[in-house]
Amino acid sequence: MNSYILITNNPMVKKNLIEKDIFFTNKSLLGVLIECRNHIHKGHKLLSHPLSSSVKPNETPFKSVLISKSASNLDYRSLEIIESSILSTKKFISNAPQPKWPDKILDDFMLIDYSVISNTIDSIK
């Protein structure tokens, strides 16, 4: 049984990582981060960095984040990281909104996010 929940809006992650504890959402990248923050407020801990990859949050539409399956007291460090990640994401979006990407590029973004989160899951296992 996994010790984590994977929150993602990346269809490639959903398709290839057959996870029992996957939380798939159709929301934007910012929506994924806010979903993570909601879980953190309920006592889940952040396990992977929300600003993973050097692809900027106003470029890639896709994001996958790992949080702990168990929940206890509010973890302030998790809250600190998710809040500054949300702040950073909003800053980038206000600079320039995400372009309308062709499918080929969307596939590339999915692949990068998938690679990064797969490597992270390998670290946990």
Pick out residues in 88-107 that bind other proteins (CB under 8 A). 88, 91-92, 94-96, 99-102, 104-105
- Check binding of 53 to other proteins (CB under 8 A): yes
- Chain-centre distance for alpha carbon 92: 16
The one segment of 13-21, 26-34, 35-43, 110-118 that binds other proteins by CB under 8 A: 110-118
Q: Strand 22-24 vs strand 44-46: parallel, antiparallel, or unpaired?
A: unpaired
**Phi and psi (nearest 5°) for 66?**
-100, 135
Q: Residue 23, SS3?
A: strand
Q: Of 35 and 68, which CB lies nearer to other proteins in the complex structure?
A: 68
Backbone phi, psi, residue 67, to 5°: -130, 165
**Binders of other proteins: how many residues, by CB under 8 A?**
41
Q: Are 113 and 32 in contact (CB under 8 A)?
A: no
Q: Which residues bind other proteins (CB under 8 A)?
A: 46-49, 51-57, 59, 66, 81, 84-85, 87-88, 91-92, 94-96, 99-102, 104-105, 108-109, 111-112, 115-120, 123-124
